[in-house]
């Protein structure tokens, strides 16, 4: 297979009006990645070295988005929507380059498995001209039926055109096709538009190829592989299926998910074996977790790197740029952003650490914040190895707390602190005997006077 060239033609021109959105349908996300990008990834995994994106609605937005998930893909605009075969032919220039295999895919079917594509390509490699991916269902109503004879596919029949006997067929068209590159343009150009809608249907190439004596077959996949997204409810359904797959994959690779149905992964989450994830944890894009970490309940993590044996949460928020080294601890109701927590350092509770470095073995007390933003610019806080920052301290950046430095609780620190120094930044306490009683009596008298008035 690796010696055969392959082009995937991905149809992504639909307006998606049922999504009720200004955003092109195929740019709506599954696991943090546009659904069309899932299709591109599957094609690449199946050996399609090149992609042709057929776009229409929101063409400029599509091109811009594609630079991230398919930077080498060629884009072709379908100016008029005249059917699926017409859409594929919008990429004529790409198809004509002489690929061995052409995969025709849809940008709104994000759950396609690369193994399904590989199986279809293997049939092309054995001399088949057209391979149609189908699925079986106990309720085929509404789907096109795959009509087979003698092990060969002879037609794809839309339900409204089926005979009563054909309507009993449970093998249905999944939409995806693999076409031999040397036959592709000849077959596509032969598709006519003599039908009720006056459109060029890709499915017609099955009968065209069969009439020419070419080998046409169907291959079976699960329904999930053909699931197309047309509205927000189906988008949520696809998200659920994707997450279920990913959770199982994680658990089989050695990750413990205590309540898997409550954990949500991103498309690129990396998580090491022997990591334990408690209930209700959300992973956004860009998370890498090494082996043996523990992620406690209700934590929200994105763009973060977590080394082995770290302890996070519960109710922790790690934002982009958070980098936890081995055995670091970020506890409950803490937020870390663009900061490194060095080996064995502890940020235990009720704390904000942003644009900072917390040295190895340092301890950050409850309620501490790095004051890193003045409304215009961000500033850095550097806390040395083994430093101790007392509870309810405010560290006004830019500032350095030296190795072994000690910050008294309740301090506002505006100047750097040398190694092993003790810093206070708070007003001296005064105690006035009897003043508490005097204040209570004054307040009670004032409240009584207000009631009378």
Catalytic, 349? Answer yes
pTM of the model: 0.89
pLDDT, tens digit, for every residue of 372-387? Answer: 999 999 999 999 999 9
Residue 2: per-residue pLDDT: 62
Could you tell me the sign of the dihedral formed by the alpha carbons of 314, 316, 318, 323, in that order? negative
Mean of the pLDDT values across residues 136-143? 90
Q: How far apart are CA 103 and CA 8, in angstroms?
A: 4
Residue 452: per-residue pLDDT: 86
Pick the catalytic residue from 28, 86, 296, 349.
349
6-226 homologous superfamily: Spore Coat Polysaccharide Biosynthesis Protein SpsA; Chain A (3.90.550.10)
pLDDT-based confidence at 1, cuts 50/70/90? Answer: low
Supply the DSSP string of 131-181, one letter for each residue.
Answer: EEEEEE-S--TTSPEEEEETTEEEEEE-GGG--TTGGG--EEEEEEEEEEH
Give the residue with greater pLDDT, 164 vs 244: 244
Residue 161: per-residue pLDDT: 85
So what CATH class is 246-423? mainly beta
Does the pLDDT at position 205 exceed 60?
yes
Does the pLDDT at position 232 exceed 90?
yes
List b or e across 297-317, with b for residues whose CB sees 16 or more CB atoms inside 10 angstroms. Answer: bbbbbbbbbbbbbbbbbbbbb
Q: How many helices (H) and strands (E) does the chain have?
A: 10, 35
Q: Where are the domains of the chain?
A: 6-226, 246-423
Type and span of the H or E element at 183: helix 181-189
Mean of the pLDDT values across residues 285-290? 98
Does the pLDDT at position 76 exceed 90?
yes
């Amino acid at each position: 297979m690796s010696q055969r060239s392959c082009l995937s033609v991905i149809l992504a021109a639909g307006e998606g009006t049922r999504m009720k959105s200004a955003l092109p349908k195929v740019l709506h996300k599954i696991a943090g990645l546009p659904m069309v990008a899932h299709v591109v990834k599957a094609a690449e995994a199946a050996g399609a070295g090149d992609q042709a994106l057929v776009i229409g609605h929101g063409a400029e937005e599509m091109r811009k988005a594609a630079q991230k998930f398919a930077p080498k893909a060629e884009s072709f605009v379908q100016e008029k929507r005249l059917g699926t075969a017409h859409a594929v032919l919008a990429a004529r220039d790409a198809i004509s380059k002489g690929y061995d295999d052409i995969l025709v895919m849809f940008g709104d079917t994000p759950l396609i498995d690369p193994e399904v594509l590989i199986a279809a390509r293997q049939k092309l490699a054995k001399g088949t001209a057209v391979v149609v991916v189908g699925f079986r269902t106990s309720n085929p109503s509404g789907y096109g039926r795959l009509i087979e004879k003698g092990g060969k596919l002879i037609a794809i029949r839309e339900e409204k055109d089926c005979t009563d006997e054909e309507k009993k067929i449970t093998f249905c068209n999944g939409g995806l096709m693999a076409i031999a590159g040397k036959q592709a343009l000849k077959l596509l150009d032969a598709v006519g538009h003599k039908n009720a809608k006056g459109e060029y249907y890709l499915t017609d190439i099955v009968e065209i190829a069969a009439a020419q004596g070419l080998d046409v077959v169907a291959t079976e996949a699960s329904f999930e592989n053909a699931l197309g997204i047309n509205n927000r409810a189906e988008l949520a359904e696809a998200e659920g299926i994707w997450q279920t797959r990913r959770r199982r994959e994680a658990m089989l690779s050695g990750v413990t998910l205590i309540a898997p149905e409550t954990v949500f992964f991103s498309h690129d989450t990396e998580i090491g074996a022997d990591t334990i994830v408690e209930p209700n944890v959300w992973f956004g894009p860009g998370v890498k977790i090494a082996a043996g970490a523990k992620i406690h309940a209700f934590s929200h993590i994105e763009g973060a790197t977590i080394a082995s044996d770290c302890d996070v949460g519960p109710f922790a928020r790690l934002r982009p740029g958070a980098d936890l080294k081995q055995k670091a601890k970020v506890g409950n109701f803490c937020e870390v952003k663009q900061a490194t927590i060095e080996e064995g350092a502890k940020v235990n509770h009720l704390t904000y650490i942003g644009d900072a470095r917390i040295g190895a073995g340092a301890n950050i007390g409850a309620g501490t914040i790095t004051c890193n933003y003045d409304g215009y610019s961000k500033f850095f806080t550097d806390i040395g190895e083994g430093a101790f920052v007392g509870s309810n301290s405010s560290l006004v950046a830019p500032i350095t707390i030296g190795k072994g430095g000690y910050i008294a609780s309740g301090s506002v620190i505006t100047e750097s602190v040398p190694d092993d120094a003790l810093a206070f930044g708070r007003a001296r306490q005064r105690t006035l005997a009897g003043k508490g009683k005097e204040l209570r009596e004054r307040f009670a008298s004032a409240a009584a006077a207000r009631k009378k008035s």
